[in-house]
Amino acid sequence: MYLPLLLTGFLLIAIGLRAEKGAEDALVGSDLLSEPLIGPLEEFAKKSEIELSLDFIGSLPAINALHDGDATIGLIAIPQGDPLPEDRLRLIPFAYQVAFVLFNANNPLSELSIPELARIYALNASPHIDRWGQLDAGGALMTRTVQPFISSPQGSVVTELFKSEALSSRSIGSSVAMLTSSSELIDLISADLGAIGVSNRPASGSETKSISISTGEAGSFAFGPTPENIYYGDYPLRLPFYIAVPTGDLPKQREIIAFLLSDEVASVLEKAGFVPLSENVRKRTLLGLDIGE
């Protein structure tokens, strides 16, 4: 599948931290998270009198570094369905990159299934969906052409995530317009009742809406991209990121884990186009780990 291969190929950033003077701990983290988190981590280290160093490795080598004792804490992306490296690592949910599916707010439909998305977006999909009437849309929308877009800004893997989770890693169809700006996508969907878009950010303003997605399996329900549905895995178009700590080292990493699950980091992640854990889940997680204040 494309997404695991892409994540393996991405540079991951390793941030070495000293939890106490003279004792170095290495924190390895995804390059997707490096831009929003390096600054806050450096500031945190400075205030906490923790020495900070940088190194770059790959996703699987990052897990290996944790297993081999060359790193003591990590921020790693693991695609849904991949085995979790939980044999010697404690994994703590941290954040998500999400593929939001957006409609014009006046579109009467409010949900789609993954098979329907594939018939709109996948190359050589059969039968291909190119009219809204094929999705049981009535009225003026029935004969309207489906205008599909994808917005994948620099630093986002939303296209690869969408291909992996919705298209079974098939190529994007030639009728799909590729954009690099989330704001441009919002403008286009706001102006076109027949538009549909995939973005790393949810709908904004009153002219667009984020719709619910179902797996399309018999008896499945469509779930909206709320933080709770994303956290529990009910919304299917997501890439999870975890805080990973070698088993037995959790108490030693309490300070950095508490910072990573703080309101400050959650705000930074959200501004960068990620979905952090909700405040209640972060607090509950901290209490469950016995590392809260």
- Domain boundary among the residues 214, 232, 250 is at 232
Query: Which pLDDT score is estimated for 12?
Result: 37
Query: Which pLDDT score is estimated for 291?
Result: 55
* Same domain, residue pair 151 and 208: yes
Query: Which pLDDT score is estimated for 274?
Result: 95
* Same domain, residue pair 248 and 221: no
* Same domain, residue pair 73 and 148: no
Query: Which pLDDT score is estimated for 166?
Result: 97
* Same domain, residue pair 118 and 215: yes
Tell me the residue range of the domain where 159 lies: 100-232
Express each pLDDT in 85-97 by its tens digit: 888 899 999 999 9
* Same domain, residue pair 246 and 209: no
Domains contained in the chain, number: 2
**Whether 213 contacts 237, CB under 8 Å:** yes
Query: Which pLDDT score is estimated for 19?
Result: 33
* Same domain, residue pair 13 and 73: yes
Strand ranges, E, within the chain: 12-20, 23-30, 52-57, 73-77, 89-98, 100-104, 111-113, 147-151, 177-179, 195-199, 208-210, 212-214, 238-246, 275-276
* Same domain, residue pair 161 and 209: yes
Query: Which pLDDT score is estimated for 3?
Result: 62
* Same domain, residue pair 203 and 140: yes
* CB within 8 Å of 14: residues ≥ 6 apart: 26, 27, 28, 29, 54, 55, 56, 57, 62, 65, 71
- Domain boundary among the residues 217, 232, 247 is at 232
Q: What is the pTM of this model?
A: 0.89
* Rounded Cα distance, 233 and 203, in Å: 20
CATH at 268: 3.40.190.10
Query: Which pLDDT score is estimated for 69?
Result: 82
Intra-chain end-to-end CA distance of the chain, in Å = 41
What is the Cα 115 distance to its own chain's centre? 21
**Whether 87 contacts 272, CB under 8 Å:** no
- Domain boundary among the residues 215, 232, 249 is at 232
Cα 149 to Cα 46, 100, 168, 173, 245, distances in angstroms:
43, 12, 18, 11, 39
**Whether 141 contacts 108, CB under 8 Å:** yes
* Same domain, residue pair 37 and 135: no
Long-range contacts of 258-265 (CB under 8 A, 24+ apart): 258/286, 258/291, 258/292, 258/293, 259/41, 259/44, 260/75, 260/94, 261/92, 261/94, 261/285, 261/286, 264/40, 265/37, 265/40
* Same domain, residue pair 137 and 257: no
Regions of the chain where pLDDT drops below 50:
1-2, 5, 8-23, 56, 292-293
